[in-house]
Structure 1
Amino acid sequence: MRGRRFDITALPGFSAIAIGVFVVLYAPIVTIVVYSFNASNSVAVWGGFSFRWYEIAWENTQVQDATIRSLVVAVSAALISTTLATMAALGTTRRGRFKGQTFIYVMINQPLMVPEIVTAVALLIFFATIKVATGYQGLGYLILAHSAFCIPFAYLPIRARLEGMDLTLEIAAADLYATPWQTFRRVTLPLMAPGVAAGAMLAFVISLDDVIITEFVKSAGQDTLPTYMLGQLRRAVTPEVNAISTALLVLTVMLLTAFFLLTRRRD
């Protein structure tokens, strides 16, 4: 007789451990969301339900400036990193295997394997040298730093999409005398569009939420929303930070849900 199939969910204590893990992961997040509606000035004492801190955060000019700056950096970084990641994915998937292909994969995904603090220090030294040489102190450094860090995040879903695409349609287009550009524009790009969109959204979320690289690269007066919140936590903690955190959480969940819907396997 064949042995009974192993089922990890049947092990003693599995349900209790799973529930405990979910509580540890999500209880702090639920607490932040609940206390963002706290009418009290304290983050630990419940004073009734209110939208007061959302109104305060909405009218705070510093929050407005940091939010706009975060969106500018995140959108710019997502566009740049997705464009570069798309070209890299096309170059490494729409052809046969070649010498050095594994090395290229490793180099593209290197920021994922190296601790972010190391990448941040490297970017700090690199851009500090350019700042001294040029005197330019603008937001461009932050956009380039985020773009470099987000490339592997955009590359992975685009590459996965391309690897799942059959070359038959592209070969057929070439047989019908389509130029390489026509084949890419009318066949390859429409088929890979969900992967490109997913990569762009993932890059946007990573850039929007980044703190470490932003703290190292930004100049004075260039706080993004996460670094502004970090600065507020160092001074005085109010439920306004909870309200901003909840708004960021909702935006992130929406984008990640869209990412899941675009990348899930279709029948």
Structure 2
Amino acid sequence: MKLKAALLASVLALTTMPALAQTAMPDPLDDRSVKRLDKMEKVVRELRAIVFQGRDTGKPVVVQAAETDAQISALSDQLKDLEQTLTRLNGQNETLTHDLDVARRANDSEKARADALDQRLAALEKRLADQEAAAAAAVAAPPAAPAAPVAAANDPAAAFKSARQLLLDGDYGGAEQAFAGYVATYPDSAKAPEARYWLGETQFVREAYGDAAGNYLGAVRGWPQTSWAPDAVLKLSRSLVALKKPADACKTLDELAKRYPKAPAAVTSKAATTRAQAKCAA
């Protein structure tokens, strides 16, 4: 009760202030004083409300402290922190969006490359399938009948001439068959060694070096003194080099120089090149 009486006395005393305030002040209030006065009046009104509440209700009065400048400052700081956090999150979101766009473009590029590779692979598979089908058809087709020399059974000269003409015409396959038929039919004829030489030429052209070497060797057996013999020995050595037999090739080149010292310049020049390929001793 004493507390209530004291509060009531304070309120009544403060209520008399308006009468005093009517006295003229020597100087007008500055802004700061006005704010302080407003704040004091607010406190007085709150105190009056508290006193009347306690008097009228008889219940304990709960006084709640008004918000202070420190609380306002704290709320302002929290607001600033929230704004900074929001700014940071926006920046992170923009970064993630940019990274996502980059990843999406990279994925689109890889997909385009994969599609291009699939198309190339499909094209290659188709070409391979076509080639396999063509090869199967060639195997299934009956072999062409070998070009028999004209009057081969009765005229060796005509048979040789026919085979030679095929070679001059560029029909190496037909020439090979014709010369092989001549050698098989007329193994003891005077033209048989030369037929072997030309047969070796058709095989050398298609890189059948094993068969070519055998026919060149048969052609030069006895070291004939003919215009084609030096070239046959040279081609024999070149076939041996291709067959990875450099020692035999070097021996053949030695015989070439020994047996045909007057070989054409084209033959000796190629022989020197072949000797270097075979790494023959000087």
Q: Normalising by structure 1, what TM-score?
A: 0.20
The structure with the larger Rg is 2
Higher relative contact order (CA 8 A, sep 6+): 1
